[in-house]
């Protein structure tokens, strides 16, 4: 017992900030009355916390969830460049059961938070596209697993760096991603080749686009194919972000500035 107490005491020693992930009401109230600075990371700010980081999606890996929250806390200056914080979350039960100690001076930002916040496209648009991709990954098309590529933001440059593979069903329309009826259309058109192009504000500009940016200098993890290479290349050549559903392994991956930002399994959402 002494060893365990020493271990837990070492984790909390010198901690200035506690980052709570989707806390219940009683948990938040307990910590809000403590000596720590509290930052809440959750889909909505249901506790009206002064320091809040919005989670656009419940990341599959706890490590990715923590990384997003920490990057958000640093970006919003809720925590300093050389402070110690604790991330606290629910992993197995209904209450906090997992705690991780992090020193911000040794934390390397991967840019996950920037994908949503510092992109040309509105964060809500990226979230809506991600939600469509998750639904498509979970349900597929007529029982079969499919692949899809959504390029979001900087649509003018993306269109200039691509060519049509077929007619554009959205050429004269003014529909936005996030509309349930439109999302059904996106899922249907995903059966065919090519990328979807979506504007900063969420307007669906085109489907069936063949992306033609140079792939020189673009590096993607081994095992990923042409769709992922195209996503990396177009985000390196423009200010867009790309969200890819892999037909082979069913995972969703996001790219920005030619770099793989994160991956998640749609079956876990």
pLDDT single digits (tens) 15-46: 989 999 999 999 999 999 999 999 999 999 99
Task: Kindly indicate whether the domain formed by 119-268 is annotated with CATH number 1.10.1040.10.
Answer: no
- CA gyration radius, the chain: 20
Residues 6+ apart with CB under 8 A from 219: 232, 258
Count CB neighbours of 68 within 10 A.
Answer: 24
Please give the pLDDT value at position 123: 87
Please give the pLDDT value at position 64: 84
Residues 6+ apart with CB under 8 A from 25: 47
- pTM metric for this prediction: 0.76
Helix (H) or strand (E) holding 158: helix 155-160
Q: Which of 118-122, 184-188, 210-214, 232-236 has the lowest mean pLDDT?
A: 184-188
In the block, residue with structure tokens 């506690």: 18
Cβ atoms of 178 and 202 closer than 8 Å: yes
Please give the pLDDT value at position 266: 86
CATH 3.40.1700.10 domain residues, the chain: 119-268
CATH of range 2-110; options 3.30.420.40, 3.40.50.720, 3.40.50.10490, 3.40.1380.20: 3.40.1380.20
Query: How large is the angle between the packed helices 180-189 and 123-139, nearest 10 degrees?
Result: 60
């Amino acid at each position: 017992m002494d060893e365990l107490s020493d271990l837990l005491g070492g984790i909390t020693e010198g901690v200035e900030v506690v980052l709570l992930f989707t806390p219940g009401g009683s948990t938040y109230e307990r910590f809000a009355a403590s000596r720590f600075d509290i930052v809440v990371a959750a889909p909505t700010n249901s506790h009206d916390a002064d320091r809040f980081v919005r989670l656009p999606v419940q990341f599959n890996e706890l490590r990715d969830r923590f990384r997003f929250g920490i990057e958000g806390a640093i970006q919003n200056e809720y925590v300093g460049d050389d402070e110690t914080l604790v991330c606290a979350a629910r992993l197995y039960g209904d209450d906090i059961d997992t705690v991780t100690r992090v020193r911000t001076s040794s934390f390397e930002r991967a840019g996950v938070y920037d994908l949503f916040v510092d992109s040309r496209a509105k964060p809500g648009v990226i979230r809506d596209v991600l939600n469509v991709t998750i639904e498509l990954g979970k349900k597929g098309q007529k029982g079969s697993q499919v692949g899809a590529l959504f390029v979001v933001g900087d649509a003018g440059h993306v269109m200039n760096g691509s060519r049509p593979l077929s007619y554009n069903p959205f050429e004269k329309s003014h529909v936005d991603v996030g509309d349930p009826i439109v999302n059904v259309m996106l899922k249907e058109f995903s059966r065919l080749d090519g990328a979807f192009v979506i504007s900063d504000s969420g307007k669906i500009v085109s489907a069936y686009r063949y992306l033609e940016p140079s792939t020189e200098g673009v590096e993607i993890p081994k095992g990923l194919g042409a769709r992922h290479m195209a996503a990396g290349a177009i985000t390196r050549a423009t200010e867009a972000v790309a969200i890819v559903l892999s037909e082979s392994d069913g995972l969703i991956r996001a790219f920005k500035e030619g770099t793989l930002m994160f991956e998640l399994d749609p079956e876990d959402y």
